[in-house]
């Protein structure tokens, strides 16, 4: 199922939940679970932009099923939708007004000639397939980089686990930032607990940023390894949070859709609306 269909279904799920909240059927109780839902040089930056994006939404045969609204033994023909809690929450994440555009920018570039990883058993980004991954290029001597760490800590506390990972690609600006021991010490002092890639010669830094290059720069990678969001500098933290939540929801909805198809229970045809 493509992202446009998820978006259409998400909207319908939320509308169904609203309608159920407004309509009272005689002789029955409402039983609805709903969720609200530089120009060739390297540069250190403070706040800028470069957004990335999103939309979509939704899931399996339990997205919205129809039940008899009357008491047992009654048959007045009235039905009302029952919205699955998980799907309603996923739909809400995808339709959050803070979610930016999350276009598919293609597969992420490779990590080139790195000097290893710290704080992780992972040895490649490919091992993180199936998770949303925030890849941030940073260096511990950069004030703008360290200013983003409290936000990354909040993201990690909220989403970290089976669905989300952060990878900090440490690309030193100055010689004193090249020492792995100093990087490890700085990470401990700053509270950086996620995996760190040692990009000592900045080859990955320059491979990912082919034109203008910045510290910090954050990319969001989806479960299939595609770049979906690109943010230069500090700020837009609520937008980043919403983008992570939307990408996680998108992946989960794809899983639910596949499970429904495998069970031979396709989505109800009356939920399908082509947004175009």
Q: Which domains does the chain have, with CATH numbers?
A: 3-101+250-271 (no CATH), 117-225 (3.40.30.10)
Task: Name which of 7-11, 105-109, 196-200, 256-260 the model is least confident about.
Answer: 7-11
Q: What is the mean pLDDT of residues 130-148?
A: 98
Confidence check: pLDDT of 192 > 60: yes
Instruction: Measure CA 39 to chain center.
Output: 30
The residues near 240 (Cβ < 8 Å, ≥ 6 apart) are: 134, 151, 155, 218, 220, 229, 231
Confidence check: pLDDT of 232 > 50: yes
Nearest to 192 by CA among 132, 120, 130: 120
Average pLDDT, the chain: 78
103 vs 30, which has greater pLDDT? 103
The dihedral formed by the CA atoms of 184, 188, 189 and 195, expressed in degrees to the nearest 10: 80
| pLDDT tens by residue, 41-71 | 566 655 444 444 433 433 333 333 223 333 4
- Is the Cα torsion angle 176, 181, 184, 185 positive or negative in sign? negative
Nearest to 56 by CA among 20, 21, 104, 107: 104
Percent of the chain with pLDDT over 70: 66
What is the pTM assigned to this prediction? 0.73
Angle value at C-alpha 3, between 162 and 261, nearest 5 degrees: 75
Neighbour order of strands in the sheet with 117-118: 117-118, 196-198, 164-170, 132-138, 217-221, 227-232
C-alpha–C-alpha distance, residues 128 and 251, integer Å = 14
Nearest to 137 by CA among 189, 54, 203: 203
Cis peptide before 149 (omega within 30 of 0): no
């Amino acid at each position: 199922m493509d992202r446009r269909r998820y978006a259409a279904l998400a909207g319908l799920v939320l509308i169904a939940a609203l309608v159920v909240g407004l309509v009272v059927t005689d002789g029955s109780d409402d039983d609805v679970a709903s969720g609200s839902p530089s120009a060739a040089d390297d540069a250190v930056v403070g706040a800028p932009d470069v957004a990335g994006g999103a939309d979509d939404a939704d899931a399996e045969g339990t997205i919205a099923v129809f039940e008899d609204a009357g008491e047992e033994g009654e048959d007045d023909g009235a039905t009302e939708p029952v919205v699955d809690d998980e799907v309603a929450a996923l739909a809400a994440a995808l339709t959050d007004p803070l979610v930016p555009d999350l276009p598919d920018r293609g597969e992420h570039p490779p990590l080139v000639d790195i000097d290893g990883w710290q704080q992780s058993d992972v040895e490649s980004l490919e091992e993180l397939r199936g998770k949303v991954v925030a890849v941030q290029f940073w260096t511990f001597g950069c004030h703008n980089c360290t200013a983003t760490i409290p936000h990354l800590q909040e993201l990690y506390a909220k989403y970290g686990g089976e669905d989300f990972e952060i990878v900090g690609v440490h690309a030193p600006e100055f010689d004193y930032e090249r020492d792995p021991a100093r990087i490890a010490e700085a990470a401990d002092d700053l509270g950086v607990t996620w995996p760190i890639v040692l990009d000592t010669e900045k080859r990955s830094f320059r491979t990912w940023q082919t034109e203008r290059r910045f510290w910090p720069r954050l990319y969001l990678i989806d479960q299939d390894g595609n770049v979906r969001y690109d943010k230069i500098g500090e700020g837009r933290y609520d937008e980043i949070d919403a983008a992570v939540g939307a990408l996680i929801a998108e992946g989960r909805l794809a899983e639910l859709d596949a499970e429904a198809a495998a069970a031979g229970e396709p989505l109800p045809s009356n939920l399908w609306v082509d947004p175009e």
